[in-house]
Amino acid sequence: MCYNESMSVKLDERFLPLIFDTISHGIFTIDEDGRITSFNRTAQEITGYTEDEVIGQNCSSVLKANICQTMCPLMQSILTRSRTEDQEVTIVNREGRRIPIAISTAALIDENGRVIGGVEMFRDLSLVQELKKRLYASYGFDDIVSKSPSMKNIIETLPLIANSQSTVLLTGESGTGKELIARAIHNNGPRSQRPFVAINCAAMPDTLLESELFGYKKGAFTDAKKDKPGRFARAEGGTLFLDEIGDLSGAIQAKILRVLQEREYEPLGATGPVKTDVRIICATNKNLSREVQRKRFRQDLFFRINVVPIHLPPLRERREDIPLLVNHFINHFNALEGRRIARCSERVMAAFMAYEFPGNVRELENAIEHAFVVCGGDTIQLDDLPPALASSLEPALPEAVESKPLQQGEAEIIRAALARHNGDRTLTASELGVSRVTLWRKMKKHGIE
C-alpha cells in the first residue's frame, strides 16, 4: 500500500510524542530564555517532577545542577550553536537527592536558520556510580549518611584528617561503618591515587597473618617457591587498613610497633629490613584502654595508633539517622537492581525506630537488601523483612505504632526533615515513612509550626 507525502507527515506528527515519551533517556527542550517547553516521561521519572510542574520554569531552578550557576552547557549550545556530548553533572531531584547524570545538548534551529531554543538529553548514572563504588571501593564523604550531632562532628573533621599523614584509630561496634570511614579518609587524601589495602587481623592465625602482612622470601619455608609481597608492600605509598587490631597477638603487636616507630619491616626469610611508606588506619570493636589495663594489648602500641581517635556511635544512639539511612539504601538498591521501590510502610519505619539494631548500619542495610528480593510492590512491608528481624520487631510494634512510632528524638527528627525539605510536608512524610495525616498529627503533638 502506498502513502503520499501528506499522509507521511501526519504519521510523523502522530508518533513523535510517543517516541518522545518512550525513549529511555530524559529529554527536555527550552526556549531562548531558558524556560522549559517540553519534558518527556523519563525526565519526569529521573527528576521526580511532573511535566505540568516544570513547563514554563527556568531549567536551572528545576534541575539545580552543580554547573547551573557557572556555565550552563545548554545555554552555551544555544549561544554558539555547538554540541556537548556526555558531560557528567549532578542534579538535585524533587526529593532533594543528588543524582549523577550524563548530558548532551544542542541548539534547536528552525528552517530559516534561526535559533529558537535548545534540547538536552540526559541519562541517569546512578547505577554506573554504584557499580564503580563496588568495584573500586571509591567511597567519599558524601556516602556517610547522617544528621546526628555526634556523627556531624566526625564528618566535619574528616577532611582535615584525610589531608594529614597521622595514624587513625577507628573504634565502635561491628557494623557502624568503620571501613567506610577509612576508605573515605584514603580517597580524599593525598594518597588517593595509591592503593588502599585492608586486612582483618582476627581472620587468620599468627603464622599466616605475619606472612600476609610482611610477605616472605623464596626459601623462607618449605613451600616458599618464590618471593611473595605482603600487605605492607602492596600498600606502598598508600594506606593499610588494619581491621580488628585489638585481636592481634603480642608477637604481631611488637612487629607492628616497629613499623610505626622505624618505618621498616622484615619479610620472613629476609636478610635485612625493608623501608616502607604507608599510612596506617586501624579499627577495633574492643575497648583498647581496657585491653591495655588487662595486659592484653601493648600500651606503647596503643599510644602509637591512638594519634587520631574516632569513635563511631551505634545506630541505637543516633536513631534520627534511621529514616535517612533507609532512604539511602532504598535509592542504592533501586540503582543496583533497576527497581522502583519508593518507601517503607509506616509500620516498618516505626518498627525500625523501636529496634535496637545490634548489627548497626550493616544490619539495616542487609534488611533493606532482603526486602528488595521479596518485595513485590513499591512499598516495603513488614513481611518483606528477614524473618529473624521481623519476629524480633513484632513484640515492640504495638507500642511503637500506637504511642510513639518514632520514639527517641521524634520532635528533632521531624524538625530536621522539615528543614531539609523547606517545610514540604509531602516530602517530609515520604522521608520519614509516614502519611501526611500522621505527620500533621505528630507536628501538632510536639507544637511544630
CB 266 within 8 A of CB 278: no
pLDDT digits (tens, 9 = 90+) for 250-266: 999 999 999 999 999 98
Average pLDDT over residues 204-228: 81
Q: What's the pLDDT tens digit per position in 349-366?
A: 888 888 889 999 999 999
pLDDT digits (tens, 9 = 90+) for 301-335: 999 999 999 999 999 999 889 988 998 899 888 88
Domains and CATH numbers, the chain: 13-124 (3.30.450.20), 133-313 (3.40.50.300), 316-446 (1.10.8.60)
C-beta separation of 415 from 380 below 8 A: no
Q: Quote the pLDDT of residue 408.
A: 44
Burial of 80 (0-12, 13-18, 19+ CB in 10 A): exposed
Mean pLDDT of 65-87: 83
pLDDT digits (tens, 9 = 90+) for 408-432: 466 777 877 787 777 888 777 766 7
pLDDT grade for 282, boundaries at 50, 70 and 90: very high
